[in-house]
Every structure is written in C-alpha cells, then in structure tokens.
Amino acid sequence: MQTNFSAAQLADPHVAESEKILRKCVHCGFCTATCPTYVTLGNELDSPRGRIYLIKDMLENGRPADKEIVTHIDRCLSCLACMTTCPSGVNYMHLVDHARAHIQKTYRRPLLDRLTRAMLAFVLPYPGRFRAALKLAGLGRPFIGLFESLPALRPVAAMLELAPSSIPPASPMALPGTHAGQGTKKRGRVAILTGCAQSVLDPAINETTISLLTRLGVEVVVPEGEGCCGALVHHMGREEQALASARQNVDAWTRAIDQGGLDAIIITASGCGTTIKDYGFMLRLDPSYAEKAARVSALAKDITEYLAAIDMPEPVRKPGTVVAYHSACSMQHGQKITRQPKELLARAASSCASRAKAICAAALPAPTTSCSPRSRRSCATARSGISRRPAPKSSPPAISAASPRSRRPQSCRWCTR
Ligand code: SF4
Ligand code: SF4
C-alpha cells in the first residue's frame, strides 16, 4: 500500500512503525474471510482491510479520531485471525494498538462510555477490587431487566449478566513465595503469572498448574510485585497504564531472574501470554526497560508450550474420557500455539475433539441449528466474494458502508442458503 507520510510525521517512532506495517498491506482482502466482525456485519469498514484504510487515513492526515473510526475500531475484537490469514505478514495487532492509543488521546467519548471504561480500567486489573465488584454485582442482579430497558444502561446490564453468582475463595498458592519442586532432582525453575481476573474467577487454574509443575520437580516462584499483564487497558488505548503494568511485571520477574534464574515465565491465560510476549515491542522505546522487557518476552511461555517441551511421565488414562478443546483466538492467532494443547490432552484422554474454527466466537450470535462453525467459515468465505487470488494492485477496493447482508435472505444469519 502506498503511503504519504511527511518526514515530520515519520519522526514519531509510533507513526514510523505504523507506516512500515501499512506498506506491507496489498489490500488483497484475504483477511476479510476470517474476520468475525466482517462475517457478522458484512460491512467493509468492519473488516481488517477497511480498518487499515481508516487508520491510514486518520494517521496520514494527522486527524483526531472521529465517531466513525471509533465505532469501527471499537468493534474489532483483537482476535488476530486476520494476522494468521494475511499472506503479506501485516502486523495488524501493532497497527490497531497504535490506533487505539491515538483514539484515546484525540477523541472524547460520550460520558457514560467514559465512565464505563474508567470503571473497567479501575476494577478489572486488580484482583481485590474485582472480587469486591463481583460481590456487589449480586445487589444489582435483580435490576438487570430495568437496566436493559434503558439503552444507556445496557452495558451495565450486560456486565451484571456476565458476573457469576458465586466466586471461589482466593487461593493461598497465589501469594508471593516459592513452591519447591518434588523429588531429589530439580528439573527447572519458573515464575508464574498469577494475573488478575482469572485468579479471581477460577483460582484452581493456577493452583493446578503449580501442583503439576512441582510434582514434575519444577520449582515455581510467585514473585512479589507482579500483577495484571496490562492487556485490558492496552486494548482500551490507555497506553501509559498498560506500560506501567508491563514495567511492574518486568521488574518483578527481573528480580526473580537475578535471585536464581528462570527457565520460563509460565502463563495460563492466552490473552495475557500474547501481551507479555509483546512486552519487548511495547517497551522498545524505553532505554531503561527495552532490554529487560525483551528478555521477559523471550522467557514467556504458555503452560502447554512448557509442558510439551519437557519429559513427562505417561499420564494414567481414564477409559472413556472424551475432551473437547476450544482453541482461543489469542492462543492460536496471538501466540500461534495450536498443536501442543491438543497433543497434551490426547495423551491423557481417550479422545480429544477439536473442530477447526477460524472465526472467533465472541462476535457471533447463537447459530441456527443448521449452521455449524465449519459451515459458517465456508459460508463466510463465499459471502465475502473474495477469490483466493489477490486483487490487481492497480484497482484498490473501494471502501463502502453498504452491507452485503442486505442482499442476503434474513431467515438465516449465517449463510446464503
Ligand atoms: S490479507 Fe491482504 S488486505 Fe488483509 S491485511 Fe493482509 S495484505 Fe492487507
Ligand atoms: S483482529 Fe479479529 S475482529 Fe479485528 S480486524 Fe482482525 S480478524 Fe477482524
């Protein structure tokens, strides 16, 4: 893609990075076929290619964000399916991160939107606050119907509906300290990210991880001072808050490295893993953190990646155990981990079922009974009208807000049948 940034604009390293990304896009449109928001809404502006054009236009003209661009960028789920599909290696993740930070700096959202975002950024990254908020949610649950009837309060109703009615007690294993590996032979030393929301909603995930690793002879450190990876605020464009979280974690893990070395930093939530593996990039412009952050990113490993790389005794198979595996977007597209989780599960279960699914489920309303995720994917490809051959470079696609959905029968949301 041709770009027209001035030398003064390119002096900003964030703009220079985005320009490099934009130049890689050949607007072939392959990415639209696996973009859940395009598949659902059928609007080019809700596709990766459409968003890339919008971001280019905004950055190149040095314009503040407007309502239109905010709407379409907000709808992006950051599932990163477009990055897996793109044949040109366009780093959409870094581009949309830059766009979100630009939006945060230049666009004034409506009051309720600002309050909701500020509340999420204040509560979710902090386990104590999140736990208290979930308890308070019980008081608001009887009013869900009322909130739903008031358009301005629908986000509150949606949050109350998502809040579980009970939460498990906090795990003592998540407290800072060291869990010694069992056996006489030490197999390794790792740190574990205890994280934020996951540690409140399901502390058993980290407890089980620590138990398994220590049984395998691996020493597990829960470093003092680690916290939320920063992904949540990063996706909101609150760049300074995200970088503060990243620096705090880099400091905590650097101390653990200095105190005895680390073979890996284990992460049990794939979205956090995607962000921590990007710390090296996020902090590249900070001379006092760039090197340490790159070292942390290199050590970051999803638990399945780590387990797949070490010798483990054969698990005791329980006959008749059938496991279904959901490959999260941040796992398969953000971290490109697809094989290890299924191989580990297949070793322990009689059968591990995993359906190839290129499209994130988060944007999709409940499917009709006749549509499977597989058929949705093929329908999406067909509906996008994109051939598997790139469009000629001389005729870039026009951006149109017209929705192909209007051409589809409304009886089925997924296909043209
Ligand atoms: S798939 Fe094609 S249109 Fe989409 S980001 Fe990659 S190069 Fe651009
Ligand atoms: S990250 Fe996901 S939702 Fe966003 S443009 Fe890419 S495929 Fe679409």
Q: Answer for the pair 314, 300: CB distance below 8 angstroms, yes or no.
A: no
The mean pLDDT value for 17-23 works out to 97
The mean pLDDT value for 160-175 works out to 90
Give the mutation target among 28, 38, 53, 96 for probing the ligand 1 site: most ligand atoms within 8 A of CB: 28
State in Å: Cα 242 to ligand 2 middle.
21
State in Å: Cα 52 to ligand 1 middle.
9
Sorting pLDDT into bands at 50, 70 and 90, what band is 359? low
What does pLDDT average to over the chain? 85
**Per-residue pLDDT reduced to its tens digit, 62-91:** 999 999 999 999 999 999 999 999 999 999
State in Å: Cα 387 to ligand 1 middle.
13
Q: Answer for the pair 145, 180: CB distance below 8 angstroms, yes or no.
A: no
Sorting pLDDT into bands at 50, 70 and 90, what band is 175? very high
State in Å: Cα 21 to ligand 1 middle.
11
Q: What is the pLDDT of residue 36?
A: 95
Q: What is the pLDDT of residue 228?
A: 96
CA 120 – CA 133 distance, rounded (Å): 10
CA 326 – CA 111 distance, rounded (Å): 37
Residues with CB under 6 A from ligand 2: 35-37, 48, 51, 76-82, 92
- Of all protein residues, whose CA lies closest to atom 8 belonging to ligand 1? 25
Q: What is the pLDDT of residue 358?
A: 53
The mean pLDDT value for 38-47 works out to 95
Q: Which of 171-180, 263-272, 397-406 has the lowest mean pLDDT?
A: 397-406
The mean pLDDT value for 155-175 works out to 90
Q: What is the pLDDT of residue 355?
A: 61
**Per-residue pLDDT reduced to its tens digit, 84-108:** 999 999 999 999 999 999 999 999 9
Q: How would you class 7 by CB atoms within 10 Å of its CB: exposed for 0-12, middle for 13-18, buried for 19 or more?
A: exposed
Q: Is the pLDDT of residue 11 over 50?
A: yes
Give the mutation target among 30, 384, 389 for probing the ligand 1 site: most ligand atoms within 8 A of CB: 30
- Angle between helices 290-299 and 239-258 in degrees, nearest 10: 70
The share of the chain scoring above pLDDT 70, in percent, equals 84
Q: What is the pLDDT of residue 313?
A: 86
Q: Is the pLDDT of residue 211 over 80?
A: yes
**Per-residue pLDDT reduced to its tens digit, 105-126:** 999 999 989 999 999 999 999 9
pTM: 0.84
Sorting pLDDT into bands at 50, 70 and 90, what band is 236? very high
Sorting pLDDT into bands at 50, 70 and 90, what band is 414? very low
Atom of ligand 1 nearest to the CA of 28: 2
